[in-house]
Structure 1
């Protein structure tokens, strides 16, 4: 698995994701964007310092996206989101992609905290996030509207020190 910055050449893959109701429901976003609209959004946001978007590749093939959004340099926190294409799900890419995005946020952007929102009924995602070290900070009742109904959402957070402690490799004494 490899991550790299999102580029304009990736827009056809993003277009497929953005036009899937089931995928966008997981992000609590409205589906169905035209390709022209997506291109305009890309051009508008490519230099936005409050966002970082990365492509997740498996053997050089587009497999998904991990994004750091709402990057706040004063309070040193950001929201993280991930989407893995259906054909690549179940191969550990969600966890690896999240870890790569988190490491970038903590080690490059010097963030203190990374948070996310997840549907309380998305047990697979909640399991992955807890495995990485995210903890539930609260439950937001009827917070997002998707697929014709309101959804409760967990807000989960992860602090840099906790993440570093979880993945720290012990140094062997000589």
Structure 2
């Protein structure tokens, strides 16, 4: 697995992910985005200090994305989001990408806390996040609307002092 910054050449692959209902429902977002809109967003955010977007590659193939968004340099926290394409599910790429990028958030960006939102029904993701040291900090009732219904979500976070450095030693 390789993690690298998102490049303009990756936008077609990102566009495919952004328009898959099943994937975007886990991010509580609408699966509707034109390639032109995505290219415009890329140009507008290329120098944006409030986010970092990375590509997950497996054997030089696009396998997914992992993002740090809402970077807050005053309170030293940010949100993490990860998605792996269907073709690469089951290879622990999401887990390994999370390890690498959470370590990046703490060690390079000097964040104090990394947080995420996760559908309470996404048991596999909740298990992985807990395994990585994220703790449930809140339960948001009917907080997100996706696929025709309101969904409950956990708000989970991990603090820099709680982060297990041994997880990232392999990277």
| TM-score, with structure 2 as normaliser | 0.96
Q: For residues 1-174 of structure 1, what are the structure 2 equivalents within 5 Å?
A: 1-164=1-164, 167=167
**Count of paired positions:** 169
C-alpha displacement at 1:156, in angstroms? 0.3
Structure 1: state its 5+ residue gaps.
170-174
SS at match of 2:95: helix
C-alpha displacement at 1:165, in angstroms? 5.5
C-alpha displacement at 1:25, in angstroms? 0.5
SS at match of 1:144: strand
| TM-score, with structure 1 as normaliser | 0.94
SS at match of 1:39: helix
SS at match of 2:151: strand
Q: Cα deviations across residues 81-129 of structure 1 (Å, max 9, x unaligned)?
A: 0000011010010110101110110010000000000000000000110
Alpha-carbon separation, structure 1, partners of 2:123 and 2:58:
24
Alpha-carbon separation, structure 2, partners of 1:124 and 1:167:
19
C-alpha displacement at 1:164, in angstroms? 3.5
Alpha-carbon separation, structure 2, partners of 1:166 and 1:148:
41
Which of 1 and 2 has greater Rg? 1
C-alpha displacement at 1:149, in angstroms? 0.6
Farther-moved stretch of structure 1 (67-76 vs 160-169) = 160-169
Matching residue of 1:172: none
**Residues 133, 166 of structure 1: 8 Å contact kept:** no
Call closer, same or farther: CA 1:59–1:144 in 2, change over 3 Å: same
Taking only aligned residues, the RMSD between alpha carbons, in angstroms, comes to 1.2
SS at match of 2:65: strand
